[in-house]
Amino acid sequence: HNSPPTSLFYFNTFISSATNYTLATYLRHLTLHPHLAGTTPSLHTALYVKSHFQSLNLQTHVTNYTVLLSYPLISSVILHFPNGSVLSLALDEPGFSSSGVVKPYHAYSPSGSAYGKPCFLNFGREKDYIALGTNGVNVKGCVGIVRRGGGLSRNEMVEKAAARGVEAVLMFTEGEFEGGVERGTVMSGLGDPLSPGWGGVENGEKLRIDDPLVMQRFPSIHSLPISMKSAEIILKSLEGPEMPYEWRKSLRCSTSGRLGPGPIMINFTYQGEKKMATVHNVFAVIRGSQEPDRFVLLGNHRDAWTYGAVDPNSGTAALLDIARRYALLMRLGWNPRRTIILCSWDAEEFGMIGSTEWVEQNLVNLGSKSVAYLNVDCAVQGPGFFPSTTPQFDNLLTEITKKVNDPDSEGMTLYERWTAANRGIKIQRLSGVDSDFAPFLHHAGVPSVDLYYGRDFPVYHTAFDSYNWMVNFGDPFFQRHVAVTGVWGLLALRLAEDPILPFNYLPYAAELQDYTHILSKLLEGRNISLHPITAATQELAAAAKETLGEAKKLKEDKATDEHTALKRRILNDQLMFAERGFLDAEGLQGRPWFKHMVYGPRNDGESELDFFPGIANAISKLSGGGEQNAAIQHEIWRTARAIQRAAHALKGELIT
Amino acid sequence: HNSPPTSLFYFNTFISSATNYTLATYLRHLTLHPHLAGTTPSLHTALYVKSHFQSLNLQTHVTNYTVLLSYPLISSVILHFPNGSVLSLALDEPGFSSSGVVKPYHAYSPSGSAYGKPCFLNFGREKDYIALGTNGVNVKGCVGIVRRGGGLSRNEMVEKAAARGVEAVLMFTEGEFEGGVERGTVMSGLGDPLSPGWGGVENGEKLRIDDPLVMQRFPSIHSLPISMKSAEIILKSLEGPEMPYEWRKSLRCSTSGRLGPGPIMINFTYQGEKKMATVHNVFAVIRGSQEPDRFVLLGNHRDAWTYGAVDPNSGTAALLDIARRYALLMRLGWNPRRTIILCSWDAEEFGMIGSTEWVEQNLVNLGSKSVAYLNVDCAVQGPGFFPSTTPQFDNLLTEITKKVNDPDSEGMTLYERWTAANRGIKIQRLSGVDSDFAPFLHHAGVPSVDLYYGRDFPVYHTAFDSYNWMVNFGDPFFQRHVAVTGVWGLLALRLAEDPILPFNYLPYAAELQDYTHILSKLLEGRNISLHPITAATQELAAAAKETLGEAKKLKEDKATDEHTALKRRILNDQLMFAERGFLDAEGLQGRPWFKHMVYGPRNDGESELDFFPGIANAISKLSGGGEQNAAIQHEIWRTARAIQRAAHALKGELIT
Ligand SMILES: [Ca+2]
Ligand SMILES: [Ca+2]
Ligand SMILES: [Zn+2]
Ligand SMILES: [Zn+2]
Ligand SMILES: [Zn+2]
Ligand SMILES: [Zn+2]
């Protein structure tokens, strides 16, 4: 007889259809030219992705937004030595001056000139300024030299320097790769600065560029990234007090061991232009057969600072390969139960602009209908599996790693190697605002995943992030690409196919319990109660257990009548809406766009807490005393209510 | 053969089971004693409702909240005439001094004393103060005498007086009924002042009573309601400039025709206490058989300033009769497709406290699962049918009025008499914040209905709002009660039973178009574009048409397989979520709790616009000039985006 293939058949077919040469081919195409958002070569990558989707007969769409981007015009850094000699720093990367690669810059930096003594600011954190003060260094009027890696965003580093009277900032990254320079955005917040909070659609409202709401997104002083080599020239010239021992010990570049300021003078000029440019999100939609109104979203950005072989097009290659393999399943007769959408975002590098505009535009339907957002940015940076998820994915992700071969050890599953490397299951969480999951999770409350192979790669945001680097260092045989693609594609398949959504909220409750323990140690001796969070977490755990029981029952029930169909849908709705409960309509104090009370950015990048951002912010405010305790307690209440809302949503019943 | 009864059979049985004597009996019981929220007799009404539900074998629940209420202790108003004579005004209502009826007061008025000259402030509106100024009257230091009825809430009247230096306010209502005095709350905003924005549950966060967020809810000067008779004594004593002609013409009480201040002096003392009290919401839940997670809510408050025969227990009687009749249907085998919840709210009179706390507590499930909230407050105030709805109910409501007999004309349907009286269908909208629909619609975006028979009754909030008044004047034969009960109960039945939700969004789009026309006239000659709203409204109309087509198809499809079941559910979700699109997470400027951009309160009760509150507020701000145009345009954008979100939700598809 001839019964239709099962989901399992399609899962297996998906796995067995993996090929590394397709991935390599896609990556080669995508990285032929630098493709900075808003430029013509970038449009060409959009068209490439579009035509790939179309050639597979997938329903393909492109949404455009015209947004404010930022490009460099002129930059110069001239050192004036006490002996009268003058040195103009090389700001381009060696060999790339006429390559079409954009010169190193900070997007949205204001234009400006500064003439002052250099001074080393370490990572530019609060405690670094305190140390400078202790050492008698006055940074006012200086050109600040800072190194990346202290947990602050570029914007935070520049703004903290500006707040102390620093005139301009030169930023470098340790871990030299042939003179590469790390580009990046210094805009705060997400999305087009001209449409804060709403989708910046054509014919939609746009703020004027001089609107205070727009201007506050940009730093008040200019900055530029420089190579480590350039930084060393300056750092070796510094005199003045000695660097603190810890700074010297951790520095991986040569210095005079002094803090400055001076004695040399730096003349630093930057001119850039902010201009309207069109960005392109490309979508392939595989419409669900039973529940077309439930969305499983796979997303990756496509724009790159330079060639983007790692960041982000290793992920784009994976996305295109998933499209190829899903199309293959469709030719075999498959249609997912729920709708799958492959999303190729633009202008992530400028501040998650493509994804944020789309999320803002679609907020009401995403909020009520999306099951999961699965992000892959730099799919492959090197060896090792580094997944981040909201915790209801933990079990599903773990299961799936058992179905995928480890790329670096013959005969082992990804699961075996991953758990061996970490002595257990190690899944990171998603408080960072560093890729396109941020609008989905932090603003819309969609359960999210972010997958990486490898971490910290030396060519990050430099001209050396090229196909060459990938085949020489990152993933010579594209096996790591195959592994990420397998995990990503299988995750989506399970989420789109399983009659009962494969979410388990017990790990979420356990995680919240861990957070509460950490917090309780931190707050020891203060007159603050964590009981509201403990109680809410217990409610969540109880609801989680209940849904697991109900899921078990419904999985065994194969009936296809209306009543059973609705029972499944009802349970799935509970599982889907629970995450939304963590959102608070008011959002974080001072950053109301961020609505998630468990995962989200801290105002103080130095905070030890990478969860409960409202509480973390209240703790890091330096007010102190009973007033601060009250503020912390209020944020504990807000967080507890969010957890309780999640529990209510998971339970699915009104309190009567 | 023996097929199960159809929905239609149950609808007909519901109609034929109407009896007026049950309604009369319930009302008699409920109004035996005054039952102000927070008092023992009020608890007894909760127990009465509870035991009624239980005796019908309905699943019955009580939720309690301990909230800040307010009661009077001492009040005196002493007039000092220039000739030395002294008169202490009678502040109680004649015959009720030892009845257990609370003495007339303004809930949440601060305690205080004032000694000053009286001055007539008319309705206490901006334009009234302008007129006073024109006439050379300085109200500073006066005791203000104001009359109700100018469109401002009590709180607004007192606050506007305070802002002009008035020391205290005496408020009266024209249309004398035997010396009755209109009680009321002067708190701004909704819900328990100690838990703004969140459910004030036991063991939950409570602000301190001296928290600025709490204090700002109360007026800064004290006030008291007085009888028209008392007001006349004062108004007849006034000298000074003549009242404007319009004021005199419209006054329905005797005066000297003068504005004051003085020459008499008033010594006015009020002392009240704010104290924690427990309030009780009572629920009966009829669990849906197919879609238990879809809620049709019928709500009515139970607490009263005095006996509450009209306000609100005519509605409570209707609710209890609906319970009786639904229970009858259940004994015949009926179970609704969706869950029906009968809600009896407490402490509405103090500021919609019972309903608001419950909505805040259940926000996440109400937002994702409630189909409709059907409110009845003063079910019967007199003759004539006065329904208010959000516009997607228009067609359903009209249909239902054809199934219900008119209570005042033998042989006519409610529809015939109603449309004859209004030369067509006349349905009001719900921008007012005057009953328990407000938290559901303005905060949670639940499609809402509010039904009245009669309008403006003379015993409003006085000791004369008794069973006696009802049988003498309001509804001697309880036929109007029967009519309201019929409409209310049938609305809920259709919403709970129809496989496809009986919502039509075309009237919503038409209504928005009308609003836009009114607005465009108002803004004529200004450099402001209404195009964003026009375009969004067109999108809504197009989506409305589409859903009607889809509904027609699905109504004809009687299949009961999983696929068809999900198709119905998907369309219903679109119809349910569309209203939620009108919500804006930021809410109205300065009043962020109010999230609905089409219906909600204006900051300026005098605005001509009773829709688009964000726009109305921007218009009534007196800033003027280009800056004001920009502010209005921004609110137009916000409103347009809300309408577009509703269109997107109704369409149910992501923009890709
Ligand atoms: Ca935007
Ligand atoms: Ca509250
Ligand atoms: Zn990236
Ligand atoms: Zn990047
Ligand atoms: Zn009422
Ligand atoms: Zn009332």
What's phi and psi for B260, nearest 5 deg? Answer: 85, -160
**Is pLDDT of B1 > 80?**
no
Give the pLDDT confidence score for residue A623 in this predicted structure. Answer: 65
Where does B254-294 have alpha helices with state H?
none
Of residues A373, A346, A475, A492, the one with CA closest to residue A23: A475
Query: Tens digits of per-residue pLDDT, B378-417?
Result: 999 999 999 999 999 999 999 999 999 999 999 999 999 9
Pairing of strands B265-286, B222-225: unpaired
Rounded to whole angstroms, the Cα distance separating A227 from A248 reads 19
Angle (CA) B446-B450-B452 rounded to 5° is 175
Where does B175-300 have alpha helices with state H?
212-215, 228-237, 245-250
Cβ–Cβ under 8 Å, residues B592 and B502 = no
Cβ–Cβ under 8 Å, residues B580 and B370 = no
Which of A348, A349, A357, A539 is the catalytic position? A348
DSSP, collapsed to helix, strand or coil, labels residue A116 as: strand
Please state the separation of Cα A168 from the chain's center in Å.
27
Contact criterion met (CB < 8 Å) for A566 and B645: no
Which positions ≥6 away from B142 have C-beta within 8 Å? B116, B117, B118, B119, B166, B167, B260, B261
Lowest-confidence segment of B2-11, B415-424, B510-519 by average pLDDT? B2-11
Q: Give A286's contacts in chain B (Cβ within 8 Å).
A: none
- The residue of chain B nearest to residue A60, with distances taken between CA atoms, is B656
* C-alpha count within 13 angstroms, C-beta hemisphere, residue B513: 12
Contact criterion met (CB < 8 Å) for B586 and A197: yes
Q: Give A360's contacts in chain B (Cβ within 8 Å).
A: none
Question: Which residue type occupies B331?
Answer: R
Neighbours of A545 (CB within 10 A): 13
Which residues of B are catalytically annotated? Answer: 348
The span from the first CA to the last CA of chain B, in angstroms, equals 53
Give the pLDDT confidence score for residue A175 in this predicted structure. Answer: 86
**Is pLDDT of B110 > 80?**
yes
* C-alpha count within 13 angstroms, C-beta hemisphere, residue A197: 20
Give the pLDDT confidence score for residue A297 in this predicted structure. Answer: 98
Of residues A335, A601, A235, A298, the one with CA closest to residue A446: A298
What's phi and psi for B562, nearest 5 deg? Answer: -55, -45
For residue A419, report the distance from its CA to the centre of ligand 3, in Å.
Answer: 26
Neighbours of B322 (CB within 10 A): 24
Dihedral sign for Cα B452, B457, B461, B465, please: negative
Which positions ≥6 away from B398 have C-beta within 8 Å? B415, B425
Neighbours of A112 (CB within 10 A): 16
For residue B434, report the distance from its CA to the centre of ligand 5, in Å.
Answer: 8
Cβ–Cβ under 8 Å, residues A413 and A406 = yes
Please state the separation of Cα B266 from the chain's center in Å.
34
Cβ–Cβ under 8 Å, residues A379 and A465 = no
Contact criterion met (CB < 8 Å) for B562 and A561: yes
Query: Which residues of chain A register pLDDT less than 70?
Result: 1-2, 623-624
* C-alpha distance from A560 to closest chain B C-alpha (Å): 5
Which candidate from A565, A646, A656 shows the least CB-CB separation from B285? Answer: A656
Contact criterion met (CB < 8 Å) for A570 and B292: yes
Question: Which residue type occupies B641?
Answer: R
Query: Quick one: what percent of chain B has pLDDT higher than 90?
Result: 93
Which ligand sits closest to the CA of B461?
A: 6
Query: What rounded mean pLDDT belongs to chain B?
Result: 96
What's phi and psi for A377, nearest 5 deg? Answer: -105, -95
Rounded to whole angstroms, the Cα distance separating A249 from A189 reads 34
Q: Where would I find the beta strands (DSSP E) of B105-244?
A: 106-107, 112-116, 118-120, 143-147, 168-172, 184-185, 222-225
For residue A193, report the distance from its CA to the centre of ligand 1, in Å.
Answer: 7
Which candidate from B362, B565, B570 shows the least CB-CB separation from A654? Answer: B362
Rounded to whole angstroms, the Cα distance separating B198 from B210 reads 18
Please state the separation of Cα B640 from the chain's center in Å.
26
Of residues B508, B594, B596, the one with CA closest to residue B545: B508
Please state the separation of Cα B146 from the chain's center in Å.
23
* C-alpha distance from A419 to closest chain B C-alpha (Å): 37
For residue B207, report the distance from its CA to the centre of ligand 2, in Å.
Answer: 10
* C-alpha distance from A248 to closest chain B C-alpha (Å): 48
Q: Give A205's contacts in chain B (Cβ within 8 Å).
A: 532, 634, 637, 641
Give the pLDDT confidence score for residue A603 in this predicted structure. Answer: 84
- Tell me the count of A-B CB pairs closer than 8 A: 134
Residue A43 is classified by DSSP as: H
Cβ–Cβ under 8 Å, residues B294 and B336 = no
Which candidate from B283, B563, B654 shows the least CB-CB separation from A656? Answer: B283
**Which H/E stretch holds residue A306?**
none
Please state the separation of Cα A51 from the chain's center in Å.
27
For residue B32, report the distance from its CA to the centre of ligand 2, in Å.
Answer: 31
Q: Give B205's contacts in chain A (Cβ within 8 Å).
A: 532, 634, 637, 641
The token pair that represents B357 in the structure block: 């706390």
Contact criterion met (CB < 8 Å) for B562 and A563: no
Which candidate from B292, B562, B577 shows the least CB-CB separation from A368? Answer: B577
What dihedral do alpha carbons B25, B29, B31, B37 form, nearest 10°?
-130
Task: Check residue A395 and give left, alpha or beta (phi > 0: left; psi -120 to 50: alpha).
Answer: alpha
For residue A194, report the distance from its CA to the centre of ligand 1, in Å.
Answer: 7
* C-alpha count within 13 angstroms, C-beta hemisphere, residue B118: 31
Residue B441 is classified by DSSP as: I
| Residue A245 exposed, middle or buried by CB count within 10 Å (0-12, 13-18, 19+) | exposed
DSSP, collapsed to helix, strand or coil, labels residue A556 as: helix
Choose, out of A341, A368, A633, A651, the residue to mutate when testing the contact with B (most B CBs < 10 Å).
A368
DSSP, collapsed to helix, strand or coil, labels residue A271 as: strand
Question: Which residue type occupies B401?
Answer: T
Place of tokens 């009257």: B137
* C-alpha distance from B543 to closest chain A C-alpha (Å): 14
Q: Give A570's contacts in chain B (Cβ within 8 Å).
A: 291-293
Instruction: State the helix-helix crossing angle for A313-331 and A20-30, rounded to 10 degrees.
Output: 130
Query: Tens digits of per-residue pLDDT, B338-376?
Result: 999 999 999 999 999 999 999 999 999 999 999 999 999
Helices (H) and strands (E) in chain A, counts: 21, 15
Residue B597 is classified by DSSP as: S
Rounded to whole angstroms, the Cα distance separating B191 from B198 reads 9
DSSP string over B116-139: E-EEE-TT--HHHHHHHHHTT---
- The residue of chain B nearest to residue A61, with distances taken between CA atoms, is B656
Rounded to whole angstroms, the Cα distance separating B542 from B536 reads 10
Task: Check residue A211 and give left, alpha or beta (phi > 0: left; psi -120 to 50: alpha).
Answer: beta
Contact criterion met (CB < 8 Å) for A577 and B364: yes
The token pair that represents B311 in the structure block: 């306000």
